[in-house]
Amino acid sequence: MKKLFNILIFVIFLTGCISNPLTGKRTMAFVDNSELFPMAFAQYEEFLSENTIVTNTKEAAMVKRVGENLAAAAQKWFASEGYAHYLKDYRWEYNLILDDAINAWAMPGGKIVFYTGILPITQNEAGIAVVMGHEIAHAILNHGQQRMSGDVLQQLGGMGVQAAMELMGASENTTEKAMLGYSLGTTLGVTLPYSRKHEHEADHYGLILMAIAGYNPDEAAPFWERMSALGGASVPQFLSTHPSDASRIKNLRSLSAEAKRKAAEFGVEF
Residues serving a catalytic function are 135
Measure the CA–CA gap between 122 and 120, rounded to whole angstroms.
Answer: 6
Do residues 260 and 253 lie in contact, with contact meaning Cβ atoms separated by under 8 Å?
A: no
Question: 142: which residues sit within 8 A by CB, 6+ positions away?
Answer: 18, 20, 27, 29, 33, 108
Do residues 116 and 103 lie in contact, with contact meaning Cβ atoms separated by under 8 Å?
A: no
Phi, psi of 216 (to 5 degrees): -65, 120
Measure the CA–CA gap between 149 and 154, rounded to whole angstroms.
Answer: 9
Other CB atoms within 10 Å distance of the CB of residue 232: 6
Annotate 129-190 with DSSP letters as a single string: HHHHHHHHHHHHTTHHHHHHHHHHHHHHHHHHHHHHHHHTT--HHHHHHHHHHHHHHHIIII
Tell me the sheet residues that pair with 28.
Answer: 17
